[in-house]
Amino acid sequence: MPDPTTHFLISFMVDARGGAMRGCRHPGVRIIIPPRKCCMPTRITCRLVKREKLIKPPPMLEGEGLAARVLEMSPVGVKFLGPVLLEVPHFASLRGNEREVVILRSDNGESWYEHPMQATEDAVTEALGSSPEGGLRGSQASVSSLWQLDSEEDLSKKRIKRILTTDLPQYFALVSRVTHVKQESIVIGMEGGVLSSNVVPQVQAVLPEGTLTRPIPVG
């Protein structure tokens, strides 16, 4: 039997002391609420639901798809006094830098939008007062391995996506899509040239000499 002080089925209690818990039903799910981020005792619920169970699932564009089951959270709208961390395993194949996993959220079960807070390594370190190598500093460092953080490289190998948030929506969704990169352009003249993709270097566009009648930016 999993330890109820470190693992939860679908919910657990947290107060001003904070806490770190792992999911029993879905290994890899972890929620870290640092001390002094929860102003009153609160029961946090986190369950993974199938897309077809939603009245309005997240909208998908061509080439996009869910990378994991949708996270149903409660209490909906609860606000923390600082960022808290969720770690969610996914099954997306990112194929190097060709694809990425982004976070969509729905506050009411009706409309969806991209979660604005980025869980970069620096942002997580600042929010939790920790480093991936050393776990939480101070008295929390020796409490439990549940507070230990993996590096972004380790998370990528384990296929785990981090969500950093200061409030709980009704749903979080992990969506796999083609990597969005900032478009860069170069000027090509009558002599022609070659364009290479930053994401997939093997993809190239060749403009032979004489194709263009004047120099133009191409991207």
Q: What are 47-92's pLDDT values in tens digits?
A: 999 999 999 999 988 889 999 999 999 999 999 999 999 999 999 8
Q: Which residue has the higher pLDDT, 91 or 194?
A: 91
Residue showing tokens 């370190």: 125
CA gap 81, 46 in Å, rounded: 19
Domains of the chain: 7-178 (2.60.220.30), 186-218 (no CATH)
Residue 126 belongs to what H/E stretch? helix 121-128
For the entire predicted model, the pTM comes to 0.75
